[in-house]
A and B are shown apart, each in its own frame.
Chain A
Amino acid sequence: MGRSLSDLVVFIAKRMVQLVLVLFGAIVVTFVVSHLSVSNPCIAWVGPHAGKLAYEHCVQFFGLNHPIYVQLYQYLATLLTGNWGIDQVNQQPVLTLIATYFPATLELVIAALLLMIVVGIPLGVIAANSSGRWADHLVRVFYLSGWAVPTYVGGLILAILVAPALHIAPTGAFTGTPPFHQYTHMSVVDALIAGNIPWTLNALEHLALPAIALAFFNLGIATRMTRASMLEVLPLEYVRTARMKGLSEVWVLYKHALRNALITTVTVLGLTAGYLLSGTVVIEEIFQWPGIGYYAYQSIESYDFTGVVGTVIVFSIGVVIANLVADILYGILDPRVEWR
C-alpha cells in the first residue's frame, strides 16, 4: 500500500463497492418503511371523489395487491434498468424530476460551503490566535449562536423580516424563465455562461438568503475545527521559526500554520457537505427553492413513495460521495496518508 495512482484507483473502487451496499440498504429500509404502514396510498392518489373502479385500477396498476417483498423486488428490478418509477403527483418520471431539481440544490450547497470557508476558517484562525481572550470568546459565542438558531427560525427571520428590510428577493423562485439557455440548471452558472451580468446579479440575489441561512447553522463546524487544529499547530517549532525569521503575522498564520491546520477542517467540511444536502429540506421549503429537498418534502406530503425513495437514494449517494471526496482530499493534503 502506498500513494501511487494505482493505489488510489483500488481505494476508490473499494469505496464504490461500499457505496452499492449502502445504497441497497438505504433503498430497502426506505421502501419497507414507506410501504408498510400506509394501508393504501391509492386512496390519496385517486382523490376523494374517485369511483371504486378507478381505485382498483390504481391498486392493480402499481401492484399494491402483491406482498411487500414482491413489490420491493419489482421496484429494484426496474430501478436497475434506469427507470426510477413515475411520480404519482406530477405524472413524470422520478429521474427526470430529480435531474431538474438537483442542480438547484447543488448550487445552494456549494454557495453555503463557500460561505462557510470564507467566513468560518478566518474566524477559527482569529479565535485560535487569541485563545482565551475576548476575541476567542466572541467568535465562540458567534458560531455557537449559529448552531443554536434552528435553521427554520433563521430561514423564517431572513425570509420574512430581513428580506423586505433590505429589499432583497425573499424566495428562490424566479419571476420568469431566464432568457438564456439552461446548460446546468444552476441559475448563477447559467447566467454567467450566457454572459448576462444583470441576470447573474439577480440570480445571486435570489441565492444569497437561502445560502446564508444554510451556512450560518453550519458555520460553527468550520470555525470549531480550524480553531482546534490551529491550537495544535501554533505552539510547534516551525511556527516559532517562521515568526523568528521576521515574517509578518498574517503570513505566519495563514501561510504556515493554516496550511497544516486545514487538513482536518477540509475533511470535516467534506463530511458536512453530505449532510448539508439533506439540511436543504427545511431551507428549500421556506424559501421555495426549487431543489431536491423541496421535492423530497412534497413527495413525503403526498405519499409519493417513488419520489421519497428516489430522493433518499440521491441524498445517500451525496453523503457517500462527500465522504469519499473528503478522504481523497485528506490524502492529497497530508502526504503521510496511504490509500487503504
Chain B
Amino acid sequence: MADSGELPPSAALTTAEMAAAVDAAVHHRASRRDQFATLYAVLRANPLTLIGFILVAIICVTGLLVWLVPLVTGLVGHPMTIVPYSIIIPSGAKYLGPSLAHPFGTDEAGRDVFSRVLAATPIDLSIGLSITLFSLSVGGVLGLIAGFWDTPGTVGGLVSVVILRVTDIFLAFPSLVLALAIAEVLGRGFTVVLFAIAATWWPFYVRLVRGEVLAVKGTPYIVAAKAAGLSDPKILTRHIIRNITEPLIVYYTLDVGSVLITFSTITFLGIGFTPGTAEWGSMIASYQADLAFDAWPTLFTALAVFVTVLAFSLLGDGLRDILDPRSRRALAVTAASAGEVGRVSSGAPT
C-alpha cells in the first residue's frame, strides 16, 4: 500500500529512513497495541475530538455511578449514593450562590442544585442513548430493506415503496408538535414522552440507511459478491452492513445530543414529568421564573445540558473527520500516526 515510490520526491530521506518509514506504514496495524497507538495519535491530533471523547466518558461514568451505586449498595444492605444532598428535602437556605458546600448554589426551595443536576444525569443520558438506539434499530432495518430490495415490479420493490411513503409522511411531520400533541393527549409521564419522541425519530434513520445502502450496493465488490453466487442475506450482513456502519456511528453520536435537546424541550414546556422531578428540562422550567434575580440554578442546569450535548457533538463531529475517507485532513492525520511516512506526507498543504 505504501511503497517508496509514493513518497513526495521533495522529501530528502536516506534509504534507511525510507525503509523504516515503509516498514512502519506496512506494519502499523500489526498489533493491538499499535492500533491503540494509532487511535491515540489520531485523537491527539484532533484536540476537540479528544475533549469530546473524555467528556462523554466522564458523563457516562457519572451517570452509571449515580444509577448503580444506590442499587448495588442497597443489595448489600447499606444503601449509599454519590449524590451529596437530597433532591427533595431542602439542604440549606434559599437562593444561595455557588459555594464549596453547594457548588451550583441552592434553588427556590433551598435544595442543592448540584445534587439535582447529578441525580438527573442517568435519566437524561439513558433517554438520549435509548431513543437513538431504538430509532437506529427500527429505521435501520426498514432502511436496509428499502435500500436493498428496491427493484421495481417485485414484492421487495413494492415493500420498499410503501416504507418510503410512510417514512415521508413521518418526515414531514413537525416532530416536536406531534410529540407535544401525543404527550398532551396520552397524559403526562415518562413513557409517554419516550413514545412520542421515538414515534417521530426513526424516519431519519430509514433515509440515512437507505442512502448508504444504495451507495454501497452499486460498488464493484458487491456486484462481484453477487456474481460469485452469494445469497442476499449473506451479502447484506457480511458486506453491506459492515460498510455502512461508520456513517451510522457518526450520525448516532451526533443524534444523542439532538434527542436530549428535544426531550428536555418537551419536559421544559411542561409535558412529561410532574414539577419537582429532577430532570434537566423540567428543572429549567421551574427555575426560569427566578432567572431575572437568581440565574445560577437555571444557568448550571443549562450548563449540564450544554456540556452533554457538546460532548457528543464534538465526538461525533471528530469521528466524522476520522472515519470519512474523503476527508483529506483525516487521511493526513491517520498517516501521521503511521510513523515516518506520515511525517513526510502531512507536510502537504491542506
Taking beta carbons and an 8 Å cutoff, which residues of A are in contact with B? 18, 21-23, 25-26, 29-30, 33-34, 36-38, 131-132, 137, 140-141, 144-145, 147-153, 156-157, 160-161, 164, 224, 231-232, 234-235, 274-275, 277-279, 281-282, 285, 296-297, 300-301, 303, 308, 311-312, 315-316, 319-320
Contacts and interface: CB of A to CB of B under 8 A. Distances in A.
A323 to B, nearest CB: 8
B185 interface: yes
Contact of A144 (B47, B291, B314): B314
A147 B309 contact: yes
B264 A231 contact: no
Interface stretch (B99-107, B125-133, B164-172): B164-172
B182 A33 contact: yes
A153 B267 CA distance: 13
B257 A153 contact: no
B185 A36 contact: yes
B177 interface: yes
A274 B294 CA distance: 36
A275 B262 CA distance: 13
B328 A231 contact: yes
Contacts of A160: 288, 291-292
A282 B48 CA distance: 30
B264 A278 contact: no
Contacts of A164: 292
Given A29-B178, A148-B310, 14 more contacts: A21-B168, A26-B173, A137-B47, A141-B48, A148-B257, A148-B306, A148-B307, A148-B309, A150-B261, A150-B265, A157-B291, A275-B174, A296-B174, A312-B178
12 contacts: A21-B165, A29-B170, A37-B185, A137-B47, A140-B317, A145-B306, A147-B257, A153-B298, A161-B291, A282-B268, A319-B172, A320-B172
A240 B86 CA distance: 64
A137 B48 contact: yes
Contacts of B264: 150, 152
A206 B221 CA distance: 58
Given A29-B169, A277-B174, A281-B177, A131 B261 contact: no
A152 B265 contact: yes
Nearest to A35: B185
B177 A315 contact: yes
B302 A278 contact: no
A148 B172 contact: no
B21 interface: no
A152 to B, nearest CB: 5
B231 interface: no
Contact of B317 (A144, A152, A319, A320): A144
Contact of B265 (A22, A37, A151): A151
A64 to B, nearest CB: 14
Given A26-B172, A145-B310, A300-B184, A285 B269 contact: yes
Interface string B303-338: 001111110011001000000001111000000000
Contacts of A281: 174, 176-177, 180, 269
B327 A319 contact: no
Contacts, number: 153
A145 B165 CA distance: 35
A22 B175 CA distance: 14
B50 to A, nearest CB: 12
B186 to A, nearest CB: 5
Contact of B168 (A18, A141, A274, A296): A18
A242 to B, nearest CB: 15
B174 A316 contact: yes
A64 B273 CA distance: 30
B185 A153 contact: no
A311 to B, nearest CB: 7
B173 A144 contact: no
A48 B172 CA distance: 37
B270 to A, nearest CB: 9
7 tightest A-B contacts by CB?
A278-B174, A25-B169, A315-B174, A148-B309, A148-B310, A153-B302, A316-B172
A301 B184 contact: yes
Contacts of A278: 174-177
B117 interface: no
B31 interface: no
B39 to A, nearest CB: 18
Contact of A312 (B177, B257, B288, B292): B177
Given A137-B47, A140-B317, A296 B326 contact: no
B329 A231 contact: yes
A150 B176 contact: no
